Structure 1
Amino acid sequence: MSLVNPNDSLERQNQKLLKIAQALMSRVEYGTEQSGAAYAQFERAALLEKRVRERTLELERTLNLLHESNAQLSEANAQAEAARRNLADAIETVSEGFALFDAQDNLVMCNSRFCRDFRDIVATLKPGLPFDGYVKKISRSPFLILPEGETPAGWAEGRIRRHEDRHVMFKVQMRLGRWLQVSEHRTSNGGTVVLQTDVTDLMRIERAERDRLRDRQAVMVRATLDHLNQGVGIFDETGLLVGWNEKLGVLLALDARRLQIGASFAGLLDRLARDVRFTQGIGRDGFLRWAHLRDQRQERTPISFEVQRGERTILHVFGRGMPDGGFVVSVTDVTAEREAARRLFNMNEVLEQRVMERTLELEDALSAAERANASKSRFVAAASHDLLQPISAAKLYISSLADRCQGSAEHTVLEKAESALASAAQIIDALLDISKLDGDGVHFDIRKVALSEILCPLASEMSVLAERKGLRLRIVPSDLMVETDAAYLRRVVQNLLANAIRYTARGKVLLGVRRSGGSARIEIWDTGVGIAEEDQNTIFEEFRRLDSAASPNEGLGLGLAIVERACARLGHPLGLWSEIGRGSCFMVSVPIAGRGAVARDPHRSTPRPVSLSHVGLIALLVENDPPLRRALSVMLESWGVNVIVAEDAEGAISLLDDLQLSPDVLLLDYHLAPQATGLDLQVRINAGREHPLPCAVISADKSPELQKSCTALGIELLSKPLDRNKLVQFLELAAQTIP
């Protein structure tokens, strides 16, 4: 480290060296302590001089950097000024008015075309001008034409409110027929660019095109009005005629001098007062008040009424308001329609009289048929009793004679005669049962019955018939308790078993019981030839047998007819499944005792709802299951209900259209087709009716959704297997609604 600064002058260096030498000499002369202090001061002085020299160098470097920064700043300012001049030159070349406002809505710059047409405010467009100040100046400018009824303050308020939108575009009208289109665009830093475009030429072209189209539309409207078969008159908001067609004058008998542009509505109405009489809907004063409505807050509602001109001409008048405050009146000649309606009314009265007469005749015929049916039932019962006695006696005589002729050729003849008499007795018994089931004479003893009491005796009886034909008969025992008439249920199951054995050539017959909800379903299966689908309905008819080669001794086809009638009257649904070549299955559903069954007096027979027969109730039954449909029809008809039967929804609608008959009650299956339900059919039938028909939907679906849907529509839901008592209650309630 050097004790002197080599940059100092020689004089300065010599002075420093002399001081250093004197300090050293003083230290030697004044001892160790004094010399130590002097030396320390010397060191401090040298250190301070070093720091001063370092700070001096740093200051010099800082000054150099400051000079460089100033030079760069000057260059940047020059470039910015050049860019500003270039930007100003650029926007000046734009053919539109251009202005830039910063994020604080203060004017930054604009070109000379901006607000050029507003000569009174051009001098005030200086940088720093607030946007709202610019808008207020524009609104008060005499060169701006404000919309009709608009004030400068209101226009300025709306303009500032529109400025809050991100994209703005609108047109303003200037003096001398000029138009400006003003648009706003937001910049990335929140500023606003305002563009003003002169669209005067475009507006003139648009107006010219609009006038041309208006003229063309006027010609088209005129041609259209003349083509109409109605008289049409168009009036403006003051009630003056501005358009019409020739048909209007013809219908109202107005000459051409009356129908002129500017003719008043009130004057035309006064002219018609002598020839036109208001007959329906509204009077002359009301029509005049409607036409003279001036309150824009009150809507001019459409009106429709009829007037009569002369002795026979009837005109229908319809009026409707237009958006501009005017209104249109159309007049239609409905004389022919009203005359046809009058004739139709007279014809309807005649038809109603004929229908009434025919109804009375039918009622008389129905009463006679009911009396004949009752008489037939009594006759069949009496005749059956009278015939059974001599047949029984003949059987006894033949049996005695057969005992005497054992081993002889006559014995075989006697056995055949005895068999024929037994078949005749069976037929008479069947006819008696059918007669009872069709009439009111049958009485059911409904009580709790063990199925084993019915099935076990049948097992021993029917096994003999099965063994004779080489068939295997199997009856699966059941410990279920059901609620039914034991005698009639036994007869039903016996007939079904006998029928299965009769028509099964080989294989087996099986009788079993399945639980199905609250019902016991008795099923009789066989391996017979099966029943074709088209024959599954006809087998339940009287004297109908599919096996034409069968012997008359095997019956006349009354067994299944008795089964169907008994199941219908008992309320036990009867079902059938069959397939050609595989066999058949007959099913009878009986309610299980104690599960939703209605308690009955064991000494009281199942009542027939007699009240329904006096009402003459007409029920529409739509059910796609043939056995259930037939069983319900038989049961309802036995109660005196007239039944209209259909298989599906379309068939029901077509049937009602063909019959021109309105039922009193609807009984609809829920699942009618893949795309149709009973609820849909109910809506179609009740469409347009003031009072919907009582309706019950029959379904095995117990879901809450279906129950909610039925409740919402006011429909009764009858679950399968069908409860006879619920059906009776529904029909009796429906009968009370018949006027």
Structure 2
Amino acid sequence: MSLTNPEDSLERQNEKLLKISESLMRRVEYGASHSSAAYAQFERAALLEKQVRERTTQLEKTLDLLHDSNARLAQANLETEAARSNLANAIETVHEGFALFDSDDIMVMCNSRFCRDFVDMLDMLHPGLPFAVYVDRISRSPHLALPEGESSARWAARRIRRHQDRHVMFNAQLTGDRWLQVSEHRTTNGGTVILQTDVTDILRLERQARDRLKDKQAQMIHATLDHLNQGVCIFDEEAQLVGWNFKIGALLSLPARRLHLGASFPVLLAHIDGELAFSKGIDRDGFRDWALSKAHRPPISFEVTHSEGMVLHIFGREMPDRGFVISCTDITAEREAAHRLTEMNEDLEQRVMERTLELEDALNAAERANASKSRFVAAASHDLLQPLSAAKLFISSLADKSAGDSDRAILEKAESALSGAEKIIDALLDISKLESGRISFDVRPMALSEIFRPLRDEMGILAARKGLDLRIVDSSLVVESDPSYLRRILQNLLGNAIRYTSTGRVVMGVRRREGGARIEVWDTGAGIAKHDQNSIFEEFRRLDTTASTNEGLGLGLAIVERACIKLGHPLGLWSEPGRGSCFMVNVPVASLPHHVTSTARPTPRPLRLAQSGLIVLLVENDPALRRAITILIESWGVSVIEATDAASALDLLDDLEITPDALLLDYQLGRGMNGVELYDAITARFGPLPGSIISANRTEPLDQFCMARGLEFLPKPLDRHRLSAVLDAAATSRAQAAEG
């Protein structure tokens, strides 16, 4: 319970407390002396006085704080009013109309320029105006020029929808050809600031500039049309003339009084009705229907013929504004030229046909001559190889029996001369086969070492004779190629390098190149000039004119080039006079590892044929060659049974009732069976026998036939060493069979 009323002022409460205190003091002084109740009252009064003093102090502090707060509040009000006044002055100085709406779309403030063009709503522009009401009044204002076909309600709805965007800017047209640009921007607290800018002067200047530009463009277009070599006329969407040049009147024979603004297309077409004949692409009615069509017009192109003989090309195309442009070009000269060209073309086709028939006859004659040449070369080579082979064998027999060094030297020179002739015939046969196109290749995986080893032995002797250093770098690569032809290619390249190198060395090696191998043959010879690097691959072409025919006819590189082309091995050449040359052959590396079996026959085991008691059946239809082979074989101590053809050979074996140890069979035996068929007939009677097929015919794949039967193929002219190796192998086989 409180001694004072809390609703009283502090002064009134202090006054009551003082009176209460005085009353208590008097009661203490005049009450019962030293009574315990009086003393207790005194203590309470003293305590109460202390509390009164503390409360009074607190009230005084509170009053001081209240006075300070009131002073600060008054100062803040003054500053707020000053800021509001400054803001109002600031937005009033802005040249644009300004208005601020809060986050609830209620107007906070605006300046006097805001909506000043809408005088009918100036009385409502004050704080508290809702944005929707502001838009609605604007949309219904008579000072707003709405777009054609749009109502005030639709305009207001579209304005409210745009108000949802964070930034809005658009131009509003007012009456009196005035324009107002309105832009809205969101504030950070969600309010909206609206600026209204009068852009009437800017738009009028732009319109004037645009009009001037249109006038200038119209002048430029008109000047351009007048300078065109084509006649041009432009029609609007109603098919009325809006532009043209002078050329169109001259081409279509239209008088100047007909060409004027607003002239209709049907009238102009009717005026030229008797002047033009529609020839290609479209007729008159179709042209009229196209021009007067209300639908989309596709481009049209056609030709007309003028009564004066001109041929005109007409082209029409629709423009984006639904108008259309028609151009007219005089193509009389082109049509006359095309007519003359057609006549010339027909005449040329006739001449080409006649020439083609002549060329076909010439080509057939050339093909017959080429085939005849190939047959002649093959037949002539066969006929040449027969006596050549016999001569070599006779010389070999004499060399075995001759004891004198001088006689042996002469025989060696004779054998060398025959070997040179043999090489020339081989080259002619190779060229004939490569040119005929009837050659077949045995392309298969092969180890390069199989070719490099024998070439090192064979070419090393030739290089040593000239004092050259020959180096063939070994390679373990396995490539895809025809072994015999790849060997012939590299043999010719090495032979050329040794032949045309006087001092230094010749090197052959292999480089890996992106899945392939490049075989390179380098030499330190005289080199080949740039202008000669193509001609060296021609037949019978040698740069060294002092070389003798024993060194070849210049067919080596021709064979190399043709063989590389047939095998698909790119051939390259680098050469510089005075520094040497490098021939390069690119061959593909085998994609998968293959087990490559060496085709080289191992060196025959030494065995004296004289002690073998070997019996050989020799079937050869050429008497001189048969006699030469017999003499050579018998000089080795081997018995020979001779026969001329297959029938006599079979009869001879029946009469003698003997089984030969080896067979030497010529492939071409005249009428009846050939050598391979004879071998099949003999083995059918006596079982498998070792033997060889002898032939000068290299146009057929005899080596494949022989390989399939386990036979050795001996080309003519016969090589005595290979022949002796065959007989040694037969003797070894017979000895092993006897021991078993």
TM interval, short-chain normalised: 0.5 to 0.7
Query: Is the CA contact 2:526–2:579 (under 8 Å) kept in the aligned structure 1?
Result: yes
Alignment of 1:433-472 (within 5 A): 433-440=430-437, 442-444=439-441, 454-472=451-469
CA change 1:241–1:488 in 2 (3 A) is closer
Which residue in 2 is equivalent to 1:265?
265
Q: Residue 59 of structure 1 aligns to which amino acid in structure 2?
A: L
Q: Which amino acid aligns with 1:57?
A: T
Q: CA deviation at 1:253?
A: 2.0
Q: 2-side partners of 1:9 and 1:329: how far apart?
A: 118
Aligned with 2:345 (options 343, 348, 351): 348
* Partner of residue 639, structure 2: none
Residue correspondences, number? 582
Partner of 1:363: 360
State whether residues 290 and 297 of structure 2, in contact with CA within 8 Å, keep that contact through their aligned partners in structure 1: yes
Q: Which residue is 1:195 aligned to?
A: 195
Code of the residue aligned with 1:19 in structure 2: it is V
Please name the residue that 2:496 is paired with.
499
SS at match of 1:25: coil
Cα deviation code 1:247-299 (max 9, x no counterpart): 2222222223332322222332333344334333344444444433446xxx5
- 1:193: Cα distance to partner? 3.4
C-alpha distance 500-103 of structure 1, shift in aligned 2 (>3 A): same
1:135-180 deviations in Å (ceiling 9; x for gaps): 2211111121112222212222333344445554443332333333
Measure how far apart 1:432 and its partner are. Answer: 2.5
Look up the match of 1:429.
426
Distance 2:495 2:196 in 1: 104
Aligned to 2:136: 136
Give the alignment of 1:504-583 within 5 angstroms.
504-511=501-508, 523-531=520-528, 535-576=532-573, 583=580
The CA deviation at 1:300 is 4.4
Per the alignment, do residues 7 and 430 of structure 1 end up closer, same or farther by CA in structure 2, a change over 3 Å counting?
A: same
SS of the residue 2:176 aligns to: helix
Residue 13 of structure 2 is aligned to residue 16 of structure 1? no
The 8 Å contact of residues 290 and 300 in structure 1, kept in 2 or not, is answered as yes
Partner of 1:649: none
Distance in structure 1 (CA, Å) of the matches to 2:28 and 2:144: 93
Q: Take 1:47 and 1:357, find their aligned partners in 2: how far apart are those partners? A: 151
Report how far residue 59 of structure 1 moved. Answer: 2.6
- Determine the structure 2 residue equivalent to 1:151: 151
1:518, 1:595 within 8 Å by CA — same for their partners in 2?
Answer: no
Instruction: Provide the rounded CA distance (Å) in 2 between the counterparts of 1:108 and 1:89.
Output: 15
Q: Which residue does the alignment assign to 2:378?
A: 381
1:463 maps to amino acid: G
Q: CA deviation at 1:52?
A: 3.8
**Code of the aligned partner of 1:176:** G
The 1:227–1:398 alpha-carbon spacing in structure 2 relative to 1, beyond 3 Å, is same
Whichever residue aligns with residue 180 of structure 2, its letter is L
Answer whether contact 2:185 2:193 (CA < 8 A) is retained. Answer: yes
Distance 2:524 2:95 in 1: 101
Q: Return the alpha-carbon distance in structure 1 between the equivalents of residues 470 and 203 of structure 2.
A: 101
The CA distance in 2 between the partners of 1:442 and 1:353, in whole Å, is 39
Compute the displacement of 1:583 (Å): 4.8
Tell me the equivalent position of 1:181.
181
TM-score normalised by the chain length of structure 1: 0.67
Answer yes or no: is the 8 Å Cα contact 2:310–2:332 preserved in 1. yes
Distance 1:326 1:592, change over 3 A: closer
Which of 1 and 2 has greater Rg? 2
Residues in 2 aligned to 1:475 and 1:139: alpha-carbon distance in whole angstroms: 102
Matched AA of 2:28: K
CA contact (8 A) 1:107 1:130 kept: yes
The AA in structure 1 aligned to 2:364 is S
Superposition deviation, residue 587 in structure 1: 4.7
**Pair 1:164–1:337, CA change in 2 (3 A):** farther
Q: Give the distance between the partners of 1:166 and 1:214, measured in 2 at CA.
A: 37
**Alignment partner of 1:315 out of 298, 312, 316:** 312
Q: How does 1:152-231 map to 2 (within 5 A)?
A: 152-187=152-187, 189-231=189-231
Q: Partner letter of residue 505 of structure 1?
A: S
Q: Distance in 2 between matches of 1:264 and 1:9?
A: 118
Aligned to 1:330, which of 327, 331, 344?
327
Aligned to 2:34: 25
**Per the alignment, in what secondary structure is the counterpart of residue 153 of structure 2?**
helix
Distance 1:208 1:255 in 2: 36
Whole-angstrom distance in 1 between the partners of 2:18 and 2:398: 183
1:244 pairs with 2:241: no
> For the structure 1 residues 477 and 324, does the alpha-carbon distance in structure 2 shift closer, same or farther, using more than 3 Å as the test?
closer
Name 1:715's counterpart in structure 2.
none
Deviation of 1:107 after TM superposition, in Å, equals: 1.6
Aligned CA distance change for structure 1 residues 426 and 269 (closer, same or farther; 3 Å):
same
| Residue type of the alignment partner of 2:35 | S
**C-alpha displacement at 1:578, in angstroms?**
5.0
Shift of the 252–112 alpha-carbon distance from structure 1 to 2, 3 Å rule, reads: same
Partner of 1:180, secondary structure, is strand
SS at match of 1:194: strand
Letter of the 2:146 counterpart: L
Once the two structures are superposed, residues 485-514 of structure 1 have per-residue CA deviations (whole angstroms, 9 ceiling, x without a partner) of 544444333333333332333444445567
Q: Give the whole-Å Cα distance in 2 for the aligned partners of 1:15 and 1:116.
A: 79
- Which segment drifts farther, 477-486 or 279-288? 477-486
Structure 1 residue 337 displacement after superposition: 2.1
Alpha-carbon distance, 1:405 to partner: 13
Structure 2 length-normalised TM = 0.67
The Cα shift of 1:215 comes to 4.0
Distance of 2:74 and 2:397 partners within structure 1: 153
Root-mean-square deviation (Å): 4.3
Maintained 8 Å contact 2:241/2:261: yes
The CA distance in 2 between the partners of 1:304 and 1:507, in whole Å, is 78
Give 1:208 shift. Answer: 4.5
Q: 1:17 to 1:427 in 2, by over 3 A?
A: same
Of 506-515 and 390-399, more deviation after overlay is shown by 390-399
Paired residues of 2:518 and 2:584 also in contact (CA < 8 A): yes
Amino acid at match of 2:262: G
The CA distance in 1 between the partners of 2:241 and 2:100, in whole Å, is: 53
Q: Which residue of 2 aligns with 1:734?
A: none
Contact 1:380 1:431 in 2 (8 A): yes
The 8 Å contact of residues 518 and 596 in structure 1, kept in 2 or not, is answered as no
CA 1:259–1:500 in 2, change beyond 3 Å: closer, same or farther? Answer: closer
Gap change, CA 1:559 and 1:155, over 3 Å in 2: same
Q: Contact 2:446/2:479 (CA < 8 Å) preserved in 1?
A: yes
* 1: CA distance, partners of 2:382 / 2:446: 30
Residue deviations 1:88-123, cap 9 Å, x none?
Answer: 455445554333323333222223333233222222
Please give the alpha-carbon distance, in whole angstroms, between the structure 2 residues aligned to 1:172 and 1:159.
Answer: 11
Structure 1, 391-400 or 437-446: larger mean CA deviation: 391-400
Q: 1:82 to 1:230 in 2, by over 3 A?
A: same
Q: Answer with 206-215 or 110-119: which moved more.
A: 206-215
1:285-304 aligned within 5 A: 285-294=285-294, 299-304=296-301
**Which residue number in structure 1 is paired with residue 121 of structure 2?**
121
What SS is found at the alignment partner of 1:256?
A: coil
- 2 CA distance for matches of 1:42 and 1:160? 80
In the TM superposition, what is the alpha-carbon distance from 1:209 to its structure 2 partner? 4.6
Per-residue CA distance 1:533-571 (angstroms, 9 max, x = gap): 554443332223333444443223222222333333344
Shift of 1:444: 4.5
Alignment identity in percent? 66
